[in-house]
Chains A and B, each alone.
Chain A
Amino acid sequence: GEQVEQLPSILRVQEGSSASINCSYEDSASNYFPWYKQEPGENPKLIIDIRSNMERKQIQELIVLLDKKAKRFSLHITDTQPGDSAMYFCAASYASSSFSKLVFGQGTSLSVVP
């Protein structure tokens, strides 16, 4: 299958706390897992990604974890700020030969309240 499930669909956190978004995928051949942030009326922006040869990656306040056995990956935003409020989409690449496409999760609407 090619589905990517993403939870929660809505997430509201207090400024300064952590936010976590979880995704699961079906195809064990997926090897690339990006995360996109999309603000209203804007394009999705790549914020962090992880490949299947890694279990953890951190860029500043963003941490992604990958559990290949469970086919799950997650995004953790530490010390959230109001500017982190946006839609977040996880994705998994599905490659037929070397031509990949991204299959996206349903999105998480994150609100960071002061």
Chain B
Amino acid sequence: GPKVLQIPSHQIIDMGQMVTLNCDPVSNHLYFYWYKQILGQQMEFLVNFYNGKVMEKSKLFKDQFSVERPDGSYFTLKIQPTALEDSAVYFCASSLTGDEQYFGPGTRLTVL
């Protein structure tokens, strides 16, 4: 199936520092998403992004979070500053139509 790539696969960072998670979505897809998954739990929606804009964000998408996709390159999630509770696996997903979403392999973020 369609492949979404994420870089890095793991990131360990000290609390208070900034981190940027990178997603390379499927090339012709138009809708982009970030989800957060804590170990053993389900994925939870953070934000969706279309046509260069955030369309909807959840209450998990704190003020310290931001997303962008400059010039059609990586779709990024930036957390600045990080907090201990940000430790989780972050999945990027992309979709052509806004329905079928294809997930990347995730970035495991550990905040110390």
Total cross-chain contacts (CB, 8 A)? 61
A49 to B102 Cα, complex, angstroms:
12
**Which of chain B's residues 87-108 have a Cβ closer than 8 Å to chain A?**
91, 98-106
A47 to B99 Cα, complex, angstroms:
14
**Which of chain B's residues 1-56 have a Cβ closer than 8 Å to chain A?**
1, 4, 31, 33, 35, 41-45, 48, 50, 55-56
**Which of chain A's residues 89-110 have a Cβ closer than 8 Å to chain B?**
89, 93, 95-107
> In the complex the two chains form, is A43's CB within 8 Å of B41's CB?
no
> In the complex the two chains form, is A96's CB within 8 Å of B56's CB?
yes
Chain A's closest residue to B58 (CB) is A101
- A43-B91, A44-B43, A104-B44 as given contacts; A99 in contact with B101, CB under 8 Å: no
> In the complex the two chains form, is A101's CB within 8 Å of B56's CB?
yes
> In the complex the two chains form, is A43's CB within 8 Å of B98's CB?
no
**Min C-beta distance of A35 to chain B, whole Å:** 12
> In the complex the two chains form, is B99's CB within 8 Å of A32's CB?
yes
**Min C-beta distance of B22 to chain A, whole Å:** 15
> In the complex the two chains form, is B103's CB within 8 Å of A99's CB?
no
Complex A-B: 7 CB contacts under 8 Å: A43-B103, A43-B106, A45-B103, A46-B101, A101-B33, A102-B35, A104-B44
